[in-house]
Amino acid sequence: MGLRNFTLLFQDPVFFRSLFNTALFAAVVVPVQAGLALCLALLVNTKVGGTNFFRTVYFVPVVTSMVVISLVWMFLYQKTGLINHLIDTFTLGHVQGPDWLNDPSTALPAIIFMSVWQGVGFHMVIWLSGLQTIPADLHEAAAIDGADRWARFRHVTWPGLRATRTFILITITIDALRLFTQVNVMTQGGPLDSTTTVVYQAVHAGYTQQQTAYASAISLVFFVLVLAVSLIQRFLTREKD
């Protein structure tokens, strides 16, 4: 019976759709969230007034429950929600926003946007901690040598963030691959399985449909995939002698 579950799994089109959705989510969220968090960290790392305020604002979504955030964004994404109201206002009524979570072409991008917004503050703090470990003397020496901002970032800041970026890359990837809460609250995998993910399918099969053996097969395949991705990332980001 155990092997039969794996046979059924690899014949299930929903499983392959969930794999595609999970991979697409990770492929977009990982670089966008990491890059945006780095930009925010560089901004708040400067010694100007108000940086503590912006650090707090960026970090507030991180300490808020994902369930609460998902519920709030559900109302924002409604056909008559605030987002469509803003689109209608700024385009003077010429553009009508879609029903974001009930349209297969916009449901997953809507969840991606919300997820990037929610998690960027956490990784901003990690980037910020890495930036503050780089000695200021290195930046001063580079500036004296005539290096501009881009040159200082490329030759001083970026190499100094090697350990930080490895940690961030792995943590964002694992977090993206285990996407569940947003889907469970906002779309329940729909419409037409356009937001179904591997974790959501496993939980749905195990708890809702009571197919525990099938859910275990999904979980085992998912574990192997996450392990493989983590090992590949660790190999590509290893320190070279």
CA nearest neighbour of 172 among 41, 23, 55, 29: 29
Residue 122: how many CA atoms within 13 Å on its side-chain side? 16
Identity of the highest mean pLDDT range in 59-68, 88-97, 188-197, 226-235: 188-197
Which of 53-57, 86-90, 98-102 comes out lowest in average pLDDT? Answer: 53-57
Q: Are 77 and 143 in contact (CB under 8 A)?
A: no
Residue 132: strand, helix, or coil: coil
Dihedral sign for Cα 229, 170, 29, 38, please: negative
* Burial group, residue 228, by CB count within 10 angstroms (0-12, 13-18, 19+): exposed
**Residue recorded with tokens 């190999």:** 235
* Burial group, residue 111, by CB count within 10 angstroms (0-12, 13-18, 19+): buried
Q: Mean pLDDT over residues 183-204, rounded?
A: 93
Q: Considering the entire predicted model, what is its pTM?
A: 0.90
Q: Mean pLDDT over residues 36-56, rounded?
A: 79
How confident is the model at residue 48, as a pLDDT?
Answer: 65
How confident is the model at residue 13, as a pLDDT?
Answer: 92
Q: Mean pLDDT over residues 121-131, rounded?
A: 90
Tell me: pLDDT of 241 over 50: no
Q: Mean pLDDT over residues 173-177, rounded?
A: 89
pLDDT digits (tens, 9 = 90+) for 1-23: 568 888 888 888 999 999 999 99
CA gyration radius, the chain: 21
